Amino acid sequence: MEIKDPAVKARMEQARKLTDSIFGKKVYIRGIIEFSNCCRKNCNYCGIRRGNTSVVRYQMSPDEIVAKAESNLKQGIKTIVLQSGEDMSYTKEVLVDIIKRIKALDSGCAITLSIGERSEEEYKAFKEAGADRFLMRFEIADRELFKKLHPDDDFDERLAAIKTLKKLGYETGSGFMFGIPGEAPDADDQNIALLKELGVAMVGCGPFIPAEGTPMEGSGIHADIERCLDIYSKIRLAMPNVNIAAATALDAVDKGARKLSLSAGANVVMPNTTPAKYKDNYSIYERKGKLDDNIADAKKLGAELEKLGYTPLWNQRGDSRVK
Ligand code: 5AD
Ligand code: SF4
């Protein structure tokens, strides 16, 4: 792909060079299991917000979740990412049991939680049960816009939760969405500055993609591919040692953009391993289910990475270098 803006092109090259000097051409693999699309919250942009009555809701049973984790482990995916809406019917006890059962299958695997806001007591129990990592995006550094987008959330509480996770010893990830209608002209700088201030070990950022059945469904896509790649480059240059995931949402801007983000500093890919019968209903944004990889495609994705000159690291946890 031709990058038109020479400044972006230069930053991408610099970011990739820096990534190479730290990670080589290696790419970490994580398998995501989206185990429930039920959510108690009503974030304006999100396709599975509680107010979206057109969503067919599902909840995987603990047995189904553990079985899927087991099949991922067998295929060499050593990081199990458990992701869901804020579904409180998975109680502390239920989640602790799931975490323990997965760890019992393979004590050398890593478990990442991406389940939203919970109490410190719960975070602590999950950690003690064996969870290693936690992803919690702050979404946007602009607190006014945060408030407008999140009817149920408090910006300071979100930041406090991220800090609590760090304190409890989680390898903690955060990030933001960009291309949100109404964002400030310097939104990218604001967001990256907050990311840096939080001192996270992992980064997950992606473009806003309108979702059907939400108040923002008609908003359009506002981030073009060059901006996406530039943001990834800037993050790598600002935080050399972090693990940066190539967001699936990039492919909604431009098919193939997710892979291109590796040439702008990303070093992690997260194939979606949600069972096929549920996947299409985890519709955070439009057509998401159809853009994702299934487990068969995880291997295909690996082959494509090799074609691009990268080495997918099967059978490795790929812990962050940031401690
Ligand atoms: N477009 C892009 N990303 C979205 N997310 C939720 N809705 C959208 C959307 N419409 C992201 C948020 C959240 C995660 C669950 O998915 O950043 O943290
Ligand atoms: Fe729920 Fe997360 Fe979507 Fe908000 S962004 S509605 S918390 S799944």
Domain range spanning residue 161? Answer: 6-313
Return the residue whose CA atom lies nearest to atom 6 of ligand 2: 49
Q: Please tell me the predicted confidence (pLDDT) of residue 290.
A: 55
C-beta 302 within 6 A of ligand 2:
no
Ligand with the closest atom to the CA of 181: 1
C-beta 209 within 6 A of ligand 1:
yes
Residue 258 exposure: Cα atoms within 13 Å on the Cβ side: 21
Does residue 318 sit within a domain? no
Does residue 14 sit within a domain? yes
Does residue 244 sit within a domain? yes
Residue by residue, DSSP assigns 20-64 as HHHHTTEEEE-EEEEEE---S---TT-TT-TT-TTS---B--HHH
Residue 107 CB contacts under 8 Å (≥ 6 apart), including other chains:
none
Q: How far apart are CA 36 and CA 201, in angstroms?
A: 26
Q: Please tell me the predicted confidence (pLDDT) of residue 110.
A: 98
Q: Please tell me the predicted confidence (pLDDT) of residue 30.
A: 96
Instruction: State residue 42 phi and psi, 5-degree precision.
Output: -135, 45
**What domain count does the chain have?**
1
3-state secondary structure of 268: strand
C-beta 211 within 6 A of ligand 1:
yes
Return the residue whose CA atom lies nearest to atom 3 of ligand 2: 46
Q: Ligand 2 center to residue 262 CA distance, Å?
A: 27
Please name which of 113, 28, 34 lies closest in space to residue 76, comparing C-alpha atoms. Answer: 28
Q: Exposed, middle or buried: residue 157 (CB in 10 Å: 0-12, 13-18, 19+)?
A: exposed
- CATH number at 169 reads 3.20.20.70
Does residue 39 sit within a domain? yes
Sign of the torsion formed by the C-alpha atoms of 312, 68, 275 and 242: negative
C-beta 86 within 6 A of ligand 2:
yes
Ligand 1 atom nearest 46 alpha carbon = 7
Q: How far apart are CA 108 and CA 127, in angstroms?
A: 15
Does residue 303 sit within a domain? yes
Does residue 217 sit within a domain? yes
Q: Please tell me the predicted confidence (pLDDT) of residue 152.
A: 98
pLDDT tens track for 42-53: 999 999 999 999
Q: Please tell me the predicted confidence (pLDDT) of residue 291.
A: 60
C-beta 46 within 6 A of ligand 2:
yes
230, 8 Cβ separation under 8 angstroms: yes
Does residue 155 sit within a domain? yes
Q: Please tell me the predicted confidence (pLDDT) of residue 195.
A: 98
Residue 167 CB contacts under 8 Å (≥ 6 apart), including other chains:
none
Q: pTM for this one?
A: 0.97
Return the residue whose CA atom lies nearest to atom 6 of ligand 1: 46
pLDDT tens track for 83-137: 999 999 999 999 999 999 999 999 999 999 999 999 999 999 999 999 999 999 9
Ligand 2 atom nearest 49 alpha carbon = 6
Q: Please tell me the predicted confidence (pLDDT) of residue 288.
A: 57
Q: Which residues of the chain have pLDDT under 70?
A: 288-296
Q: Please tell me the predicted confidence (pLDDT) of residue 220.
A: 94
Does residue 121 sit within a domain? yes
Ligand 2 atom nearest 139 alpha carbon = 5
